[in-house]
Amino acid sequence: ARGVQHTAVRQAHRKHAPNFHDKYGNLVLLGGAAVFTTVWGYVLTQLGMEWGLSPVGRVTPREWRE
């Protein structure tokens, strides 16, 4: 049991080498949030849906372009 304690103390005090997540984690998270917002912003503004509480009778299909 004492050997496990010594190993845990040694690992706690050793210098932490940054890995990919330490270096780029926040950047990847912000990039993903930006892409998510951009895509959904485009979808919601370009979809052509009339917004209301009930879409019954309001959403009509667009004419087919040949």
**Overall size of the chain counted in residues:** 66
Tokens 């087919």, residue located: 64
- For the stretch 31-41, pLDDT in tens is 999 999 999 99
The full set of domain ranges for the chain reads: 19-46
- pLDDT score, position 31: 96
- For the stretch 46-63, pLDDT in tens is 877 666 566 566 667 778
Percent of the chain with pLDDT over 70: 67
Among 35, 62, 37, 34, which residue's Cα sits nearest to residue 48?
62
Long-range contacts of 18-26 (CB under 8 A, 24+ apart): none
Distance CA 65, CA 42 (A): 22
Which 8-state DSSP code applies to residue 66?
-
